[in-house]
Amino acid sequence: MQQQQSFPKKMLPLFFAFVLINSLVLFYQKELDQSKIDPFVVFAANGLLFILSVLSLAMHSKPVDKKNPNAAVRGVMAATLLKLMVLGISAMVYLFAAGENRSIKAIFAGMILYVIYTFIEVRIASKPNQNNNAGK
Protein backbone atom coordinates (compact mmCIF):
# COMPACT_ATOMS: atom_id res chain seq x y z
CA MET A 1 0.00 0.00 0.00
CA GLN A 2 2.79 2.39 0.85
CA GLN A 3 4.38 1.65 -2.54
CA GLN A 4 1.33 3.06 -4.35
CA GLN A 5 1.28 6.19 -2.23
CA SER A 6 4.94 6.95 -2.87
CA PHE A 7 4.78 6.42 -6.64
CA PRO A 8 3.47 9.94 -7.43
CA LYS A 9 6.27 11.32 -5.26
CA LYS A 10 8.81 9.21 -7.17
CA MET A 11 7.39 10.53 -10.42
CA LEU A 12 7.91 14.22 -9.54
CA PRO A 13 11.45 14.55 -11.00
CA LEU A 14 10.21 13.10 -14.29
CA PHE A 15 7.26 15.51 -14.29
CA PHE A 16 9.51 18.50 -13.55
CA ALA A 17 11.85 17.49 -16.38
CA PHE A 18 8.85 17.16 -18.72
CA VAL A 19 7.52 20.61 -17.83
CA LEU A 20 10.97 22.23 -17.95
CA ILE A 21 11.80 20.77 -21.37
CA ASN A 22 8.41 21.77 -22.82
CA SER A 23 8.85 25.28 -21.42
CA LEU A 24 12.32 25.58 -22.94
CA VAL A 25 11.07 24.37 -26.32
CA LEU A 26 8.21 26.92 -26.21
CA PHE A 27 10.54 29.72 -25.16
CA TYR A 28 13.20 28.93 -27.81
CA GLN A 29 10.79 27.93 -30.58
CA LYS A 30 12.04 30.56 -33.05
CA GLU A 31 15.68 29.62 -32.43
CA LEU A 32 14.85 25.95 -32.92
CA ASP A 33 13.09 26.75 -36.21
CA GLN A 34 16.12 28.73 -37.38
CA SER A 35 18.35 25.75 -36.53
CA LYS A 36 16.03 23.48 -38.54
CA ILE A 37 14.86 21.61 -35.43
CA ASP A 38 11.11 20.97 -35.58
CA PRO A 39 9.68 21.95 -32.16
CA PHE A 40 6.65 19.69 -32.68
CA VAL A 41 8.93 16.66 -33.01
CA VAL A 42 10.78 17.64 -29.83
CA PHE A 43 7.41 18.05 -28.04
CA ALA A 44 6.29 14.64 -29.27
CA ALA A 45 9.58 13.00 -28.27
CA ASN A 46 9.40 14.63 -24.84
CA GLY A 47 5.83 13.45 -24.28
CA LEU A 48 6.58 9.94 -25.48
CA LEU A 49 9.69 9.70 -23.33
CA PHE A 50 7.79 10.96 -20.29
CA ILE A 51 5.08 8.32 -20.72
CA LEU A 52 7.62 5.55 -21.32
CA SER A 53 9.69 6.62 -18.32
CA VAL A 54 6.64 6.59 -16.05
CA LEU A 55 5.70 3.11 -17.31
CA SER A 56 9.27 1.92 -16.86
CA LEU A 57 9.44 3.38 -13.37
CA ALA A 58 6.19 1.60 -12.51
CA MET A 59 7.72 -1.67 -13.69
CA HIS A 60 10.84 -1.03 -11.57
CA SER A 61 8.82 -0.03 -8.50
CA LYS A 62 6.94 -3.29 -8.19
CA PRO A 63 7.89 -5.17 -5.05
CA VAL A 64 10.70 -7.58 -5.79
CA ASP A 65 10.36 -11.13 -4.51
CA LYS A 66 13.53 -12.01 -2.62
CA LYS A 67 13.10 -15.68 -3.57
CA ASN A 68 13.34 -14.85 -7.27
CA PRO A 69 15.88 -12.09 -7.97
CA ASN A 70 15.56 -12.79 -11.69
CA ALA A 71 12.16 -11.08 -11.62
CA ALA A 72 13.82 -7.70 -11.05
CA VAL A 73 16.19 -8.30 -13.96
CA ARG A 74 13.29 -9.34 -16.18
CA GLY A 75 11.43 -6.15 -15.24
CA VAL A 76 14.38 -3.96 -16.17
CA MET A 77 14.93 -5.84 -19.43
CA ALA A 78 11.22 -5.66 -20.31
CA ALA A 79 11.16 -1.91 -19.68
CA THR A 80 14.27 -1.43 -21.82
CA LEU A 81 12.83 -3.53 -24.64
CA LEU A 82 9.53 -1.63 -24.45
CA LYS A 83 11.33 1.71 -24.74
CA LEU A 84 13.54 0.51 -27.58
CA MET A 85 10.66 -0.83 -29.63
CA VAL A 86 8.31 2.12 -29.10
CA LEU A 87 10.99 4.74 -29.76
CA GLY A 88 12.39 2.90 -32.77
CA ILE A 89 8.97 2.46 -34.34
CA SER A 90 8.07 6.09 -33.60
CA ALA A 91 11.26 7.36 -35.23
CA MET A 92 10.70 5.20 -38.33
CA VAL A 93 7.06 6.29 -38.64
CA TYR A 94 8.11 9.94 -38.35
CA LEU A 95 10.92 9.60 -40.90
CA PHE A 96 8.64 7.92 -43.44
CA ALA A 97 5.63 10.18 -42.81
CA ALA A 98 7.58 13.45 -42.89
CA GLY A 99 9.23 12.71 -46.22
CA GLU A 100 11.42 15.60 -47.38
CA ASN A 101 10.34 17.81 -44.46
CA ARG A 102 11.89 15.55 -41.83
CA SER A 103 14.09 17.07 -39.17
CA ILE A 104 17.05 14.81 -38.40
CA LYS A 105 18.26 17.34 -35.81
CA ALA A 106 14.97 16.91 -33.94
CA ILE A 107 15.57 13.14 -33.86
CA PHE A 108 18.98 13.82 -32.32
CA ALA A 109 17.34 16.18 -29.80
CA GLY A 110 15.02 13.30 -28.91
CA MET A 111 18.05 11.07 -28.38
CA ILE A 112 19.49 13.62 -25.97
CA LEU A 113 16.15 13.73 -24.16
CA TYR A 114 16.28 9.92 -23.92
CA VAL A 115 19.61 10.15 -22.10
CA ILE A 116 18.22 12.79 -19.73
CA TYR A 117 15.10 10.76 -18.91
CA THR A 118 17.13 7.57 -18.47
CA PHE A 119 19.49 9.33 -16.07
CA ILE A 120 16.57 10.62 -13.98
CA GLU A 121 14.84 7.24 -14.04
CA VAL A 122 17.96 5.36 -12.92
CA ARG A 123 18.51 7.80 -10.07
CA ILE A 124 14.91 7.35 -8.91
CA ALA A 125 15.00 3.55 -9.25
CA SER A 126 18.32 3.23 -7.41
CA LYS A 127 17.22 5.22 -4.35
CA PRO A 128 15.35 2.31 -2.71
CA ASN A 129 18.41 0.13 -3.26
CA GLN A 130 20.64 2.68 -1.53
CA ASN A 131 18.24 2.84 1.43
CA ASN A 132 18.04 -0.97 1.70
CA ASN A 133 21.83 -1.34 1.57
CA ALA A 134 22.32 1.35 4.23
CA GLY A 135 20.06 -0.50 6.66
CA LYS A 136 22.02 -3.75 6.44
How much is the pLDDT for 20?
97
Shortest CA distance to 56 belongs to which of 73, 79, 78, 81? 79
Predicted structure pTM score: 0.84
Residue spans per domain, the chain: 2-129
Q: Which carries the bigger pLDDT value, residue 69 or residue 122?
A: 122
Mean per-residue pLDDT for 63-78?
75
The fraction of the chain above a pLDDT of 90, given in percent, is 58
Q: What is the pLDDT of residues 22-58, one digit of tens each?
A: 999 999 999 999 999 999 999 999 999 999 999 998 8
Measure the CA angle with vertex 109, ends 106 and 110; round to 5°: 90
For residue 101, the Cα-to-chain-centroid distance in whole angstroms is 26
Q: In terms of Cα–Cα distance, which of 77, 81, 14, 23 is closest to 51?
A: 14
